[in-house]
Amino acid sequence: MNIPANHPRRESLLIREKLVEGFKKGIVAPEGLIAHGRGECFDYLIGEKTQGFALKAIEAAAAALLLANHAVISVNGNVAALVPEHVVKLAEASGALIEVNLFYRTREREEAIKQFLLSHGAREVLGVGEDASATIPELFSERRRVSPRGILIADVVLVPLEDGDRTEALKRLGKYVITIDLNPLSRTARAADITIVDNVVRAMPLLVEKVSELKGEDRGFLKNIVSSYNNNEVLQEALRFITHRLLELASKDLKLHA
């Protein structure tokens, strides 16, 4: 698709193109396209920029990933299509493992995602085929399958763009859950220990950078970052930001003058 360089919604359209390409390659589920639309709506509300509340969460997430004994990055179709290289970089920088975890699991899609990540330099991708032999209690059918080498034994799990049921199930298993979710009101956003309210395409590169920056710090320093982080406050801050932004806009002349 040819999007003019000065198109006001260029970035957003390019991201859509990546998802449509991913859909054509069998990486993204049709439902994933709908989920993206919901995310876009919230991105509009936060001004399509990484805000302060997201930066706080990114710092805490980086520290938590570095402190983990066994961290896992859970990857679904949308995440693979949008930020494959940053999933690989984050795994490298933090020592986390990569696991495919799909809401709409099919053998073909999980394999396509694995191959896509391997082609972007991933060393190993868990949770595909026979490897997804363990189950998370309480979840239905294919949604509960995880890798016994990955999510099953993880202490910290990064689940960008995750469904609320599964996030709550991971919490009940005692995992420390980090998410990236543009909707500060989603069940995932509210159940997670750390919620990065930002677009995954902006948040993942910043998270990789933060992990690299904090890597040399001692554990005491990192623990202090995590223990002084308060997710409820961060979600409240995100909602206040949206509220104030909308009130400010509501006092302006909104008409576009061509």
What residues are designated binding site for ATP? 16, 38, 181-183, 187-188, 199-200
Instruction: Look at residue 182 and give the partner it binds from Mg ion, ligand ATP, none, a contact being a CB closer than 5 to 8 Å depending on partner kind.
Output: ligand ATP
- The strand pair at 156-158 and 71-75 is best described as parallel
Q: Which residues of 192-201 are buried (b: 16+ CB within 10 A; e: fewer)?
A: bbbbbbbbbb
Give the total residue count for the chain.
Answer: 258
Binding footprint of Mg ion on the chain (CB under 5 A)? 163-164
CA 49 from centre of chain: 16
- Write down the number of H helices and E strands in the chain: 11, 8
**Is the CB of residue 64 less than 8 Å from the CB of residue 156?**
yes
110 binds, among Mg ion, ligand ATP, none (CB under 5 to 8 A by kind): none
Q: Smaller CB distance to ligand ATP: residue 60 or 182? A: 182
Residue 171 CB, nearest distance to ligand ATP (Å)? 12
Please identify, using beta-carbon distances, which residue of 95 and 164 lies nearer to Mg ion: 164
Q: Which is closer to Mg ion, CB of 142 or CB of 163?
A: 163
Beta pairing partners, 176: 156
- Residue 161 Cβ vs ligand ATP, minimum distance, rounded to whole Å: 4
Q: Quick one: what does residue 101 bind among Mg ion, ligand ATP, none, with the CB cut-off 5 to 8 Å set by partner type? A: none
Q: Which is nearer to ligand ATP, 222 or 238 (CB)?
A: 238
Question: Long-range CB contacts (< 8 A, 24+ apart) of 167-172?
Answer: 167/191, 167/192, 169/136, 169/137, 169/138, 169/139, 169/144, 170/136, 172/137, 172/138
User: Could you list the residues that contact ligand ATP (CB under 6 A)?
Assistant: 35-36, 38-39, 42, 161, 163-164, 180-183, 186-188, 199-200
Q: Cβ 188 to ligand ATP, closest distance in Å? A: 3
Name the residue nearer to ligand ATP (CB basis): 79 or 151: 79
Q: How far is the CB of 163 from ligand ATP (least distance, A)?
A: 4
Cβ atoms 198, 52 nearer than 8 A: no
**Minimum distance between the CB of residue 145 and ligand ATP, rounded to whole angstroms?**
18
